[in-house]
Amino acid sequence: MSILAGDFTYSARRIAKRLPVSLVIMITLALGIGANSAIFSIFNAVLLQKLPFPAHDELTLVKQIKRLQGDANASFSVKEVDELHHESHAFKSIAEYHTMVFTMVGRNELTRVAAGVVSSDFFNDILRIKPQLGRTFSASDDVIGAPAAVLLTHEFWQSKFGGSKSVVGTYLTMNDRQYQVVGVLPPFPQFPNANDLYMSVSSCPFRSSEFVINSREARMLSVVARMAPDETLEKANTDVDTVSHRIIQANPASYPSQDGYTMSVIPIAEELIREVRPTLYTLLGTALLVLLIACANASGLLLAQNVERQREFAVRSALGCSRWRLARLMLTEVVMLAIGAALFGLALAYIASKFLNVHVASITGLATQAHIDATVLGFTFGLAILAGLIAGALPAMGTRYISSVLRENSEKSTAASHKNRGRKGLVIVQLAVTFVLLMGAALLITTVRNLQRVDLGFSSKNVVVAEMDLNWSRYGTAEEQRNFAKTLESRLQQMAGVQSYAVAATYPLDLAAENNPADRADVVFDDRSSEERSGRINSLVRRVSAGYFSTLGIEIADGRVLLASDDENGAAVAVVNRQLAKQHWPNASPIGHELSLDGGATWLKIVGIVGDEKRFALSEPPRPQVYVPYVQHPSWGRLNILLKATNPSSYEQPIRAMVHELTMCRRSIE
Amino acid sequence: MSSENNQTVVRLDKVNRLFQTDKVDTYALADVNLTINKGEYVAITGPSGSGKSTLMAILGLLDVPSNGQYWINGTPSSALSASQMAEVRNREIGFIFQDFNLIGDLTVYENVELPLTYRDMSRSERKERVERCLTQVGMMPRAEHYPSQLSGGQQQRVAVARSVVGTPSLLLADEPTGNLDSVNGEAVMKLLSNLNQDGVTVCMVTHDVRYAQAAKRVVKLFDGRISEDNAAKVQAS
């Protein structure tokens, strides 16, 4: 033992004596180790650790699927959740969930607040989360008419209330209504989305409205359920399938056969990691390759150091040091360097994981659980020792030729040639790994270049977008929404230097529209028979003002675009994109034809055709889109300002001030 | 020791050492026969390139013969694995080099202790042996110094202490006075003589005729062959 201690002492002395080189080796390894530790901390939290909920194997998501439309997230209505609750037998508890955006009024500011609206079982029977302060929701909070109650997330409590314990019992003003804070939640991986606070179902004005409660088609809820302890996933799927069939048979009008409605049950754990798994494997693989390069570099530096140690090794050999002891001595030093590198690496990992967490947390809430714990420490030091052994292996193997230093000169050249072979091997490994990484980088650059060449169908040059969420308590009716949009337009018109502007419910590549049913519709056409109408197409519907096309530079292919005169008093009109026109009138012009977005109840005259603008992704092929005047089809929810000017960033403050003046909240200007 | 006279420490039988290069084969040693008995003090001399260092390398198990056989304390070197050779070097052979070859990152004490750390020996026993040897060469007061803080003569005295700390049966000294002035050279030679008088078998390579004469037996090498060996004379005397 004292011999081993002697090796450590000697190695420490050498490291201290050659500090600059030692630091270079440590930092080289630290970069690789730090990158791996940062990624592993998330990998560990997301893919290796069990969900931090009691009996997590029982936790599932129930999904309604429009199989024939390729829609795996059709959501549930309140009626459907009630039926699932009463008719299914596979679950011990079922809870509903949806998100809303509220405007919280503070002393000097308005804050956009993401609220998860959940039934009481969500925290009690399903996630089984104990509050950090106060209480969670009880069954009485679910009853319509109960006092409005909210639970703060740990993060929101810390950031907005400074972690004050006296917050429980106080009231928050959101969308002109007061909500009592009944408790504070501990940190937990939020899903399906991260929210600032949680609200009982009876507290949500939208969820507790008569329309939402009574309409089978008002589908906006997710369903989270805890299986009964003796149930299996297979039995649960059979169970919800039975319920789904019964509901569809009883209400055929609400479940068109061409949609292929069905239900399925999936484990929450799978849902939480499904999207992020390939990303994490790729990141970890890349980081390991980087570490391999770092090891090769460190190994090269160690080999260079060993040239000056040849005589020392030769003397040790002459004095009876075996090859193994010599290798152990060298590896002791390298492993000590690697452990030093691990300490540097942990510091790097701590910083890097903060950035990585933000990115991965947007894909899975489990990333918020990532931190440097015992497992990550074990991984880091294990990796460091492995890296040290890899980096030190070649120099240690070289010791077998070292006793030749004490022999004839002619033999020294033999040793040198062996060493050269080792260095050449190192260079080959470095080149090979670097080549793999460079290929990956080249592919990435090519992809980015290709994406830059993609015809977007619009121009974002000099355009600024301001997102806001209408306070539906204040702008609940179509008239109020229409008037507000008009007020915004008139205020934008008065701004000096503005080239063009528009208000619109969605804008190109706006992911918020992807999952919003209000921005989609099944389109039917006037020149199709009722049989043919069953083959209707699902289209994105953009509710925009007249300036939308000029602001975004969208090509006018035929006819005209929407005009300011296409208001609530004008004829109902629509503009379609080239893809929709080509798909349904391949040999004729659609201009003058009519289309309906509500199954034939009302009809809109097609007045123009515009180019295909990308909807949600650069890689997607052109898809059908319909443009309608916002003032003819106003709605609550998101409203965006698009403004084009020579110096668009200078309008950030004026827009912010205008919105504030109009007592709305906007969160971001892009 | 089984088949050998247990007084024989070294026995070389028709030992050759061939160095092969792309263009030419060179015999550094050719048909060398040599026997060194326990307690002998042998000086190996000869001009540069005569094979002295190659002979020392083979005697020290740092090299192996191309042909012929070498027995050390009755054990054929050809029967030893690399790790067994290391063990024999550690237990049976002490080395003194021309340029001292102390390890710069180790103190005087640690340098002398080094051969013992390759054995299964207690810390207290190592300490006792190291201190005894350092006292013997007069370097105990410098035990915590590093080699760079010592003169050449002091370094060689430390090297002598290191070579004998493991109580070897054969002490190989390769030009031990080559880098020393005459005063220090004399001092080292006196140490070697004392060690030999204490029973240590010494085999020394030297160019210096004066120091060679200090040995009881002189073996002269020329072109890889033993040209002269006064063993018989020594035995007779």
Q: Does B1 reside within a domain? A: no
Helix (H) or strand (E) holding A61: strand A59-66
A186: which DSSP letter?
A: P
**A572 φψ region: left (φ > 0), alpha (ψ -120 to 50), beta (else):** beta
Whether residue A316 and residue B114 make contact (CB cut-off 8 A), yes or no, is yes
- What phi and psi values does residue A638 have, to the nearest 5 degrees? -70, 140
Whether residue B57 and residue A2 make contact (CB cut-off 8 A), yes or no, is no
- Residue B183: strand pairing partners: none
**Tokens representing residue A192 in the block:** 């399906």
**For residue A294, what pLDDT band results from cuts at 50, 70 and 90?**
confident
Name chain B contacts of A323, Cβ cutoff 8 Å: 82-83, 86
B101: which DSSP letter?
A: -
pLDDT at position A594, please? 92
Q: Which one of B29, B81, B89 would you mutate to disrupt binding with A, by most A Cβ within 10 Å of its Cβ? A: B89
Per-residue pLDDT at A409 exceeds 70? no
pTM beyond 0.80: no
Per-residue pLDDT at A404 exceeds 60? no
**For residue A426, what pLDDT band results from cuts at 50, 70 and 90?**
low
Amino acid A12 reads A
Strands A573-577 and A625-629: antiparallel
Please name which of A156, A88, A160, A151 lies closest in space to residue A123, comparing C-alpha atoms: A151
Q: Does B232 reside within a domain? A: no
Q: Does B2 reside within a domain? A: no
Lowest mean pLDDT: which of A352-361, A403-412, A632-641, B100-109? A403-412
Q: Contact A179/A148 with Cβ under 8 angstroms?
A: yes
pLDDT at position A411, please? 38
Name chain B contacts of A403, Cβ cutoff 8 Å: 62
pLDDT at position A402, please? 43
Name chain A contacts of B91, Cβ cutoff 8 Å: 320
Strand order in the sheet with B170-174: B93-96, B170-174, B201-205, B41-45, B217-222, B225-229
Q: Contact B112/B93 with Cβ under 8 angstroms?
A: no
Mean pLDDT of A404-425: 50
Amino acid A549 reads F
DSSP A295-320: HHHHHHHHHHHHHHHHHHHHHHHHTT
Higher pLDDT, residue B178 or A536: B178
Lowest mean pLDDT: which of A242-256, A324-338, A391-405, B85-99? A391-405
Whether residue A10 and residue B105 make contact (CB cut-off 8 A), yes or no, is yes
**Cα gap B182→A328, rounded to integer Å:** 41
Q: Does B98 reside within a domain? A: yes
pLDDT at position A271, please? 80
Lowest mean pLDDT: which of A469-478, A573-582, B182-191, B221-230? A469-478
Q: Which one of B63, B72, B162 would you mutate to disrupt binding with A, by most A Cβ within 10 Å of its Cβ? A: B63
Interface of A with B (CB under 8 A): 2-3, 6, 10, 13-14, 17, 311-312, 314-325, 403, 406-408, 410-411
Whether residue B117 and residue A3 make contact (CB cut-off 8 A), yes or no, is yes
Write the CA distances from A470 to A467, A484, A505, B187, integer angstroms: 10, 9, 10, 100
pLDDT at position A230, please? 86
Q: Where are the domains of chain A?
A: 2-51+276-408+415-450, 56-228, 463-669
Distance from the B89 Cα atom to the nearest Cα atom in chain A, whole angstroms: 5
Write the CA distances from B228 to A538, B17, B35, B68, B215, integer angstroms: 108, 19, 13, 20, 15
Distance from the B20 Cα atom to the nearest Cα atom in chain A, whole angstroms: 9
SS3 A65: strand
**What domain count does chain B have?**
1
Higher pLDDT, residue A70 or A121: A121
Per-residue pLDDT at A212 exceeds 60? yes
Higher pLDDT, residue A231 or A271: A231
ipTM confidence: 0.90
Q: Which residues contact B177 (CB under 8 A, 6 or more apart)?
A: B156, B184, B185, B188, B189, B206, B208, B211
Per-residue confidence of chain B (237 residues) as pLDDT tens digits? 444 556 899 999 999 999 887 778 888 999 999 999 999 999 999 988 889 988 998 999 988 899 999 999 999 999 999 889 999 999 999 999 888 889 988 999 999 999 999 988 899 999 999 999 999 889 999 999 999 999 988 999 999 999 999 999 999 998 888 877 888 888 888 888 988 998 899 999 988 888 888 888 999 999 999 999 887 676 666
Lowest mean pLDDT: which of A85-89, A336-340, A656-660, B9-13? A656-660
Of A6, A324, A406, the CB nearest to B57: A406
Name chain A contacts of B114, Cβ cutoff 8 Å: 316, 319
Q: Contact A201/A119 with Cβ under 8 angstroms?
A: yes
Q: Contact A246/A80 with Cβ under 8 angstroms?
A: no
SS3 A266: strand
pLDDT at position A119, please? 95
Q: Which residue has the tokens 């009024």?
A: A105
Q: Contact A68/A260 with Cβ under 8 angstroms?
A: yes
Amino acid A395 reads P
**Cα gap B101→A336, rounded to integer Å:** 26
Per-residue pLDDT at A314 exceeds 90? no
Per-residue pLDDT at A403 exceeds 50? no
Task: Identify whether A131 is preceded by a cis peptide bond (ω within 30 of 0).
Answer: no
CB contact B51 to A (< 8 Å): no
Q: Rg of chain B's alpha carbons, rounded to an integer?
A: 18
pLDDT at position A665, please? 42
Whether residue A322 and residue B82 make contact (CB cut-off 8 A), yes or no, is yes
Interface of B with A in 110-139 (CB under 8 A): 110, 114-115, 117-119, 123
**For residue A257, what pLDDT band results from cuts at 50, 70 and 90?**
confident
Per-residue pLDDT at A238 exceeds 80? yes
**For residue A70, what pLDDT band results from cuts at 50, 70 and 90?**
confident
pLDDT at position A416, please? 47
Distance from the B161 Cα atom to the nearest Cα atom in chain A, whole angstroms: 13
**For residue A517, what pLDDT band results from cuts at 50, 70 and 90?**
low
Write the CA distances from A465 to A391, A461, A604, A654, B60, integer angstroms: 52, 11, 28, 13, 84
Mean pLDDT across chain A: 83
Distance from the B221 Cα atom to the nearest Cα atom in chain A, whole angstroms: 16
Please name which of A242, A238, A245 lies closest in space to residue A260, comparing C-alpha atoms: A245
Whether residue A10 and residue B86 make contact (CB cut-off 8 A), yes or no, is no
**Cα gap B161→B155, rounded to integer Å:** 10
Lowest mean pLDDT: which of A43-52, A228-237, B28-37, B70-79? A43-52
CATH number, residue B198: 3.40.50.300
pLDDT at position A534, please? 52
Mean pLDDT of A72-93: 90
Q: Which residues contact A22 (CB under 8 A, 6 or more apart)?
A: A15, A16, A337, A340
Q: Does B13 reside within a domain? A: yes
Mean pLDDT of A466-492: 84
Helix runs in A554-651, H state only: 578-584
pLDDT at position B237, please? 64
DSSP A365-390: GGGGG----HHHHHHHHHHHHHHHHH
Percent of chain A with pLDDT over 70: 88
**What is the signed CA dihedral for A143, A144, A145, A148, rounded to 10 degrees?**
80
Please name which of A264, A255, A272 lies closest in space to residue A234, comparing C-alpha atoms: A264
Residues A319-354: pLDDT tens digits? 988 888 888 888 888 888 888 988 998 898 888 887
pLDDT at position A515, please? 62
Q: Which residue has the tokens 């292996």?
A: A393
**Cα gap B185→B156, rounded to integer Å:** 9
Mean pLDDT of A568-578: 93
Nearest residue on chain A to B124, alpha-carbon basis: A2
